[in-house]
Structure 1
Amino acid sequence: MNITERIGAARMSGYQWLVVALCTLMNCLDGFDVMAIAFTGPAMTDDFGLTGSQFGLLVSVGLIGMAVGSMLLAPFADLIGRRPLILISLALGTIGMFGAAMAGSVPVLGLFRLVTGIGVGGILASSNVIASEFSNAKNRGLAIGIYTAGYGIGATVASLVAKSAVGGDWRIVFYAGGFGTLLALVVVAALLPESVAFLEQRRPRGALERINRTLARMGADSVSEADLDRAASARADAGRTSAGWLKQLLAPTVLLWITFITIMFGFYFVNSWTPTLLAEEGLSESAAVTAGMAISIGGTAGSVLYGVAARVRAPRVVLIGFSLLSAAMMIVFILSTSTLWLGFGIGVVVGALINGCIAGAYTVGPPLYPSNVRSIGMGWALGMGRIGAILSPTIAGMLKDAGASATQLYVGAAAVVALCAVALVALRRHDPESAPAAKAPATA
């Protein structure tokens, strides 16, 4: 077995869970960033005199940056390493958040939102891979669930900061995000190791020593140069048989793209527009932020709940259930917000389900591809998913300006999320993990 296969079959060590925790911390930045623009939406709209379309475009600029970061920055992780790219991306995120806090006009604010998005996109593409590579097979779904929960944690922190700033300066939220990203940069620089898979495949100078140092921290046996040579030979043989992989896997690839697009459409609609829509439907700004915070709180637990469920049933089957329930509860939520306590409770459920869908997409995708093209397959799936993330707030803003109500917008977004289940049903015959017996055994 190569090193990655050994890690997949071995027990999870405390050091591996530390790496997952660091990746979760980085995913918190995504949640804080998206919800920073969402929770400051009402105040920002008043400050700059924005229309619905303008605000939707401002949200989409950040998401466009994420797509650029995911698809254009991520490939450099295979050249310079995952860790250096993450540090560069964290630096971009820090600059973007502080720049947005100090922006004096909408174009300048949009520019720094783009920079922040590029940084976040680079972080997500690399940290997701590292979390998966440092997890064993048995706990990979749970590890990705915990990683995805970082979004909800970051979003909840953003909501608390925004709630304390209601009636004050919305820029406080972006200053807080800048300091948080800077802190993450310091912590990650001090503690995050380079990906063992990257070191094994690229073998930069000192690779063997760095691999064995990381394996020692994991409590695993060391490897030799001969082991790395054998792994390289096996990869070369596999590479010669993988030509035309996209054509061979076209059907599952398209279905996976549809899954990501529909889930991210609903996810970013719920997380980006909820406070602004509820405020314009008559709720106070504080109550609207509270309802949005309920969704963030639910999201923190939902992805972990998905990970636990995916240890019992096939991840694809669990994701079908989560997507259908998400669509249904989105409609129930928007019909219940006139009663704040009821809307808050249902908002927690919506946040849990839609965030669990994101964890599910991250978990269902990798087994569809052979290991030697898995990063390419997942990287493009993430990038395509951003199409849904970009279109969601923009379309919502255009429909809102055309007279659509919050209820109508929520029902439309729910219908898009429900389409995910259709794609997942069609994906069944391509999914090697649909049968519980197909899952690779691994110790805890």
Structure 2
Amino acid sequence: MTGFQWAVVGVCMALNMIDGFDVMVMAFTASAVSAHWHLSGSELGFLLSAGLFGMAGGSLLLAPWADKLGRRPLVLACLLIAGLGMLASAWSQTAMQLAASRVVTGLGVGGILACSNVIASEYASLRWRSLAVTLQSTGYALGATIGGSIAVWLLAHHGWRSVFLFGGLCTLAVFVIACLALPESLDFLLARRPKKALEKLNALLGRLGLPELSGLPAPVARVGAAKPRGPLQLFSPGLRRPTMLVWLSFFAVMFGFYFVMSWTPKLLAASGLSAEQGVTCGVLLSLGGILGATLLGLLAARFAIHRVLAVFMLVTAALLCFLVGSSGALWVLYALAFLIGIFVNACVAGLYAIAPVVYGSDVRATGMGWGIGVGRIGAIVSPLAAGSLLDAAWSPNQLYVGYGLAFVFAAVIVSLHRIASPSASRTGKDGMAALAAH
């Protein structure tokens, strides 16, 4: 891994920070927005869900275009969409206008997230690929923690509109950074061969410290009937099984993840903690994610990632069973929250690392986008299911045990993947390997 490759991973981390901030921005401003327009509970719930609907749409509808137009153009377009959506949110005059702006913002964020994971994967070496993808996914926790802290200060001093204004300006600043520092994917240039592909490849090879090519490597011959195009490619004979595994694991993990991140402060407060102590546990969940994603990436550099990830999912399920029922001192509860943050965030980061491995470069962004999109559906369903179970008189402890089963199910699904460990495979069907062979 050269410095240029790690720099690309760093840019992808900055892209992921937008997702973390955008998820938190509505949660932090919910009370102020509700008071401003005198919203009912259902109206506020619609606002909270609008961004997630947009993210699902962006992952399902926009991300596949990255396999046709390129990763870089789509990221830049989605950054503009998300930034303008944030700015529009700041000047919304009605709740419906804010909801529409949140959907637009979510569309951009959904497309960004799918492409950032793919670019980080494609620029990493085979050994450090899982670490690179999980490291860039820590941008979510950084965006949620740092951006959330700034949002609290802005909310107290300048009102809720300033929070969205800050988010829009930050997104446009990242757009400028991406224009200057985000390269096109080597895999895309080799697979799709757009206009001036050789010149673009040689420019990237120079930045990687590699010799220039006199011509493009010979394309891989396709045998048999023509492949279906677009999302239908995900159900071609060789991809049907891994696609179903990716979708099921994303749905189950996002279903559990968004329950843990969204409901933990409130449920702990309902179990006897103060509101401030519940919020502290929520912050510790995000902070733990920074360490968790890095730890999983380091282990995946040595062992098959699907096996490491399955263990992390089982540990997450076990820890959830003890969170509310813990009868120890407050610091014990805080330690448990931090540990859960480590493992539950690593579960999401691990899925982001698996999806690019199981798909070829010609369908990688589509596969990643649809996996994340299906996961976002789980994220939308999760808080609704938790609310219904609370209305049905479930205790907080029963909820955590029940949602822990989602991680057990995900562990079973993930363990069915067939992914070799990095130490057992030093070659792969990606841009780096193709160039090395050439």
Measured against the shorter chain, the TM-score band is 0.7 to 0.9
Structure 2 Cα separation of the partners of residues 43 and 301 of structure 1: 32
Query: In the alignment, which residue of structure 2 is the partner of 1:191?
Result: 181
Contact between 1:56 and 1:394, CA under 8 Å: does it hold in 2? no
**Map of 1:330 onto structure 2:** 320
> Is 1:110 matched up with 2:95?
no
Q: Is the 8 A contact 1:22 1:192 kept in 2?
A: yes
Residue in structure 1 matched with residue 163 of structure 2 by the alignment: 173
Aligned CA RMSD, in angstroms, stands at 2.9
Contact 1:59 1:393 in 2 (8 A): no
76, 83, 90: which is aligned to 2:72? Answer: 83
CA contact (8 A) 1:98 1:175 kept: yes
**Residue 237 of structure 1 corresponds to which residue in structure 2?**
222
1:121 is aligned, of 110, 116, 129, to: 110
**% same residue:** 44
**Does the aligned pair in 2 maintain the 1:138–1:440 contact within 8 Å?**
no
Alpha-carbon shift at residue 388 of structure 1 (Å): 1.0
Q: Aligned residue for 1:6?
A: none
Q: CA deviation at 1:207?
A: 2.3
Report whether the alignment pairs 1:364 with 2:354: yes
CA contact 1:367–1:431 (8 Å) conserved in 2: no
Hey, what does 1:138 align to over in structure 2? 127
The 3 A distance-change label for structure 1 pair 110 and 362 is same
CA contact (8 A) 1:263 1:417 kept: yes
Amino acid at match of 1:186: V
What is the deviation of 1:201? 2.8
Which residue in 2 is equivalent to 1:346?
336
In structure 2, distance between residues paired with 1:347 and 1:248: 40
**How big is the shift at 1:134?**
0.7
The one-letter amino acid paired with 1:217 is R
SS of 1:247's equivalent in the other structure is coil
Contact 1:315 1:434 in 2 (8 A): yes
Uncovered stretches (5+) of structure 2, i.e. residues with no partner: 434-438
- The aligned residue for residue 307 of structure 1 is 297
Q: 1:276 to 1:298 in 2, by over 3 A?
A: same
1:249 and 1:217, CA in 2 relative to 1: closer, same or farther beyond 3 A?
Answer: closer
Alpha carbons 1:41, 1:275 under 8 Å: kept: no
Unaligned runs of 5+ in 1: 1-11
Letter in 2 for 1:21: G
Q: How many residues align?
A: 424
Q: CA deviation at 1:40?
A: 3.5
- Return the offset for 1:118: 0.3
Contact in 1 for aligned 2:130/2:353 (Cα 8 Å): yes
Distance 1:199 1:371, change over 3 A: closer
Distance 1:302 1:112 in 2: 33
Contact 2:5 2:123 in 1 (8 A): yes
Aligned counterpart, 1:431: 418
The 3 A distance-change label for structure 1 pair 146 and 337 is farther
Assess if the C-alpha contact under 8 Å between 2:85 and 2:105 holds in 1.
yes
C-alpha distance in 2, partners of 1:47/1:93? 24
Residue identity matched to 1:237: R
> What TM-score do you get using the length of structure 2 for normalisation?
0.86
Deviation of the 1:51 alpha carbon: 5.5
Residue 206 of structure 1 pairs with residue 199 of structure 2: no
Amino acid at match of 2:205: L
Task: Select between 21-30 and 105-114 the one with higher mean Cα deviation.
Answer: 105-114
Counting only pairs closer than 5 Å after superposition, residues 62-73 of structure 1 correspond to structure 2 as 62-73=51-62
Cα 1:103–1:414, aligned 2, differ >3 Å: closer, same or farther? farther
State which drifts further: 24-33 or 371-380. 371-380
AA aligned opposite 1:133: E
Pairwise CA distance, 1:146: 0.5
The residue number in structure 1 matching 2:258 is 268
Structure 2 CA distance, aligned partners of 1:407 and 1:252? 34
Distance 2:320 2:378 in 1: 17
The 5-angstrom pairing of residues 4-153 of structure 1 reads 12-48=1-37, 53-153=42-142
In 1: Cα distance, 2:339 partner to 2:277 partner = 18
After superposition, where does 1:245-284 map in structure 2 within 5 Å? 246-278=236-268, 283-284=273-274
Change (3 A) 1:106 1:291: farther
Task: Report the CA distance between 1:64 and its aligned residue.
Answer: 1.4
**TM-score normalised by L of structure 1:** 0.85
Partners of 1:272 and 1:50 in 2: CA distance: 20
Contact 1:56/1:393 (<8 A) preserved: no
Answering whether residue 354 of structure 2 is matched by residue 386 of structure 1, we say no
Residues 75 and 256 (structure 1 numbering): CA distance in 2 closer, same or farther, change over 3 Å? closer
In structure 2, how many angstroms separate the alpha carbons of the residues matched to 1:50 and 1:276?
20
CA separation of 1:356 and 1:412: change in aligned 2, threshold 3 A: same
